[in-house]
Structures are given as C-alpha cells and as structure tokens.
Chains A and B, each alone.
Chain A
Amino acid sequence: MIKLGVVYLLAGLVFAAFAVLSAGDRANPKRFGNALFWGLVGLSFLAGDRLGDIGNGVLVLGLALIAGTGQLGRGQPATTSPDERKALAARFGERLFIPALTLPVVVAFGVLVLKPLQLPDGPLLDPKQATLISLALAAVIATAVGVILLRQPLTSPLQEGRRLADTVGWAALLPQMLAALGAVFALAGVGQVIGDLVTTWIPMDARLTAVAVYCLGMAGFTMIMGNAFAAFPVMTAGVGLPILVGQFGGDPAVVASIGMLSGFCGTLMTPLAANFNLVPAALLELPNRYAVIRAQIPTALPLLIANMVLMYVLAFR
C-alpha cells in the first residue's frame, strides 16, 4: 500500500532542494534566511516523526522567528524574461496547456481508478490519503511532461518551484501553523468557552432567533477558528441539536448541512483560513494581503442570510 510517507519524502526532498538552491543565490541578500526556512520545512517532511514533539515545536518556533524577524527574502533564480515568454508562448501555442491539464487528468485518474484498486494484500493507495497521493503523482508526471514537451532545462522544476515558493513566502506555512493552533485551542477548551457564552447569553425561545444564532454562530466561530470543522461540533452541540432539533423539532440533516455551509460563509471572510484567503493573495502577488477576502465578503454575507432563510423554511416542514 502506498501511504502518505512517500508524499512526505518527495516533499521533503523538494523543499531541501529549494534550501540548497536558495543558499547559492547571490542575487538574494537574505539568501541564508530563505535557505534556513525552506531547509526547516524540508527537515519537517523528512524527519518530523523522529524529531519528537518538543523537537517539532522548536522547529516551528524557528520558522516563525525567521519569518517574523524579516529574514525571508525573495530568490532570483535565472528565468525567462517577459519578452522571451511572449516568444515562447507564440512558438509553443496550445501545447503549453498540456502539462497544466495533465495535473487534473492524473488526479482524476488517481481518485477514480487507482483509489478503488485492490491488491492481494489490500488497497493500492491508502484510502484516507488517496487524493493527496494522486496529487503528488500528478505533480511528478506533469513536471516530466512539462520539461520534455517544452524542452525546459532539467533544473528548471526546482528553480522555478523555488521562485514560486519565495513568492508565497511565509504565507505558505501559515495554514499548517493555524491547524496546529487549532489543536492548542482545542486542548485549552476555547471552543467550549465560546459555545457556553453563546448559549448562556442569548435567549433562543423563538425559532427564528435560534436559526439566526446557529447560522451566525457557525459563521462567526468559523472566522475565529479559521475553519468550519472546529465550529461545527461546538455550535451543533450547543444550539443545533438541543434547541433547533430537540426543542423545535427541526430535521437534523437540514440543520447540520446548512449549518456547515453557514460556517463556509465565515471561511470566506477570515484571514485565518489562510490557505484559501491569504496564500492566493501572495501567489497572485496582490499588494493588499486581504484583497481576496474583500472580494468574497459581498458574496458571503447575502449567502449567509440566504442560509438562514433556507434553514428556517426547509428544516421545519
């Protein structure tokens, strides 16, 4: 069975290569900061399970200190100029889309064909991680297709990958850090405290108020915790089940489903959902790091109201 370990090994080697190439990049005045940062990420992937909990904690502290003290610069790997790219684009034409389209094709193949595949000693891919394994496989195949089809230098995947990694910078590690913060929050019982606050202080003797509290609570709590998965158990145990389902007889499937989607409206509005909101801003080189959130709020708010209406109408038929 192919497990996540293979993906981590590959990711570790790639980030380690980013580190080595960064260290040799004299055009970047902060090259050793970058080398250390990507080196630590590589180390985490390669040896994270052997570092111990405190070792990993120190590693994370190192990442935060490098980024927080401004030691992270932007590498300048030799790449093609805008004019060269225009000429290449004209020469290659639609062939340029092939590597990028190889990605979704291989991912779909992995999820739809490889995932159900059974070997004599069990499934071929670890079923829980099949998507990520497929994505890694797709990345390798698409890279090979790109280098061969577009006749790019053999070092270009690592150099260009490093260029993009430096473009994203510290934001690349924020989603994983926030996931870890979520674990500390859970350990300290932050969710429980917020859930108790909501249920203690807001009277929910009317059905409409209860629907509003549950949906707004899901959105608001998601904004604080960075993902709806953390908000769902707390809000559903506090409001959804005892009041909407228990007291008012709502359909639990409707309550849960639309409740979760109300949480997703919150995800659109918070910087704590970094992989959706801040990483893209960095990736697209937007001057305002909150520009994507700003673009999403006018969709998220009316949709949140629509969710409350839908739940009110559909859950109590």
Chain B
Amino acid sequence: MLTLLGVAVVVVGFAVRLNPLLVVVMAAFVTGWAAGLTPVEVLAAFGKAFNENRFVSAAYLVLPVIGVVERAGLQERARTLIGRFRGVSVGPLLVVYLLFRQLTSALGLTSIAGQTQSIRPIVAPMAEGAAEARGVTLDAATRQDVRAMAAATDNVGLFFGEDIFIAIGSILLMVGFLATAGITIDPIHLSLWAIPTAVVAFVIHAARLMLFDRALRRRAAA
C-alpha cells in the first residue's frame, strides 16, 4: 500500500498547483523510498528513463518554423481568411477539423497535424475569427473557451482516429501483450473494433461543438 504514496503526491501536488516538475520529482523519490530504493538508486532510474524518453521532447523542433510564420502574420491571416467565409462559424469549422484529424490519424498520419503545428498557428485563430465574424465579442473568458475547445478537438480527433491504423503504438502494444498471454490476434481485428468508438466519439464531440457554437452566439445576442 505504501507504494501508492507517490501517486498521492502527484494527485495532491497537481491539485494544489505546485510546480508540476517538482511534483514529479518528489513523487519519484517518495515512490522509490516506499519501494525500498535508496535516493541514489531513484536518481539513477529516473535519469535513465528521462534520457530514454528524449524523443518525447524532440517534437519541439517545429517551434522555430511556427514562430517564423507567426512573425510574418499567419495568425492574423488565418483570422481574416475565415471571416471572409460568412457561412462558417466556430462549430462547423471545428467539426470539419475533427473529421480531418480522425480520418488522417486512421491512415497513420498522426503527425501531420497537432497542437503546435496546427492549433496554435491556424485552427485556434480561425476559430476566433469565425466567432468574431458572427458578432461574438472575445472577452478573456470567451477567448479561453474557444481556444480550449480547438485544442480539445485536436486531441479527440487524434485519440479516436489513430487506433484504426494497424501499425500504431497502442495496437502493437495490445498484440504483443495478448501474444504473451497466449492469444494470437491479427492487428486488423483490433483496428476494426476501434471503429464503433471512433464513430461515437465523432457524434458526441461534433454535437458538443454545435451546442458550443449556439451558446457562443446566444452570448453574443444577449
């Protein structure tokens, strides 16, 4: 039971909004202590795993180009471009993006879009522009809601699209795990059974986006 103390550190640390990097390090030492490791052993295990997971942070290599196009006015352009299409408001815009993200992820193209390379420079400004074109005033709270919804849409599209692709990490993990348990499964079956959930995810999130759109416009009319 003591082993779970580290989990408690994480939960409490995040809840009281301590700096998460410190929370994570504290949780590592508490967990190691509870499991009977010396602090040096924890430090070594933690350092080793950190080094092995560098690929997680390598994706920030897209920051420079995103910064360059922002410097040249991409966000502003995305905003005015969407304003020209009078018919497009936030809801349908994000529904189309959701569909695009799910379909491309299902084809294995998970890295062609994302929070850094699509949401910040293009999709979020477009969503803001679409809202403004419909007379929505973007006060701080509304702006946060629109941006957060754009980010959420990317995640939902990615998570519930990628598992339809047979060579994605989670499918390989499942095949490998089931194989060690003596169950041989063709990856294609795992991906096919991801489709029902993908469809439901699209329906639920698309409905929410349309309701969000209506709520925004009602806020504007009030």
Contact = CB atoms under 8 A, between A and B. Distances in A.
Given A185-B6, A232-B174, A256-B174, A174 B151 contact: no
A232 B159 CA distance: 15
Contacts of A241: 181, 183
Contact of B43 (A57, A70, A170, A183): A57
Contacts of A117: none
Nearest to B62: A139
A287 interface: yes
| Size bin of chain A's contact surface | 35 or more
A158 interface: yes
B112 interface: yes
Nearest to A160: B67
A181 B24 contact: yes
Given A54-B40, A103-B112, A161-B64, A295 B145 contact: yes
Contacts, number: 431
A257 B67 contact: no
B155 interface: yes
Interface residues of B, number: 115
Interface in A268-317: 268, 271-272, 274-281, 283-284, 286-289, 291-292, 294-296, 298-299, 302-303, 306-307, 310, 314
Interface of A: 4, 7-8, 10-11, 14, 41, 44-45, 48-49, 51-61, 63-65, 67-68, 70, 79-80, 82, 84-90, 92-94, 96-97, 99-100, 103-104, 107-108, 111, 129, 131-132, 134-136, 138-140, 142-143, 146-147, 150, 152, 156-165, 168, 170-185, 187-190, 193-194, 224, 228-229, 232-233, 236-237, 241, 245, 252-254, 256-258, 260-261, 264, 267-268, 271-272, 274-281, 283-284, 286-289, 291-292, 294-296, 298-299, 302-303, 306-307, 310, 314
16 contacts: A51-B51, A56-B50, A57-B44, A58-B43, A80-B71, A85-B70, A92-B73, A97-B74, A103-B62, A107-B112, A139-B64, A140-B61, A181-B24, A257-B163, A272-B14, A299-B204
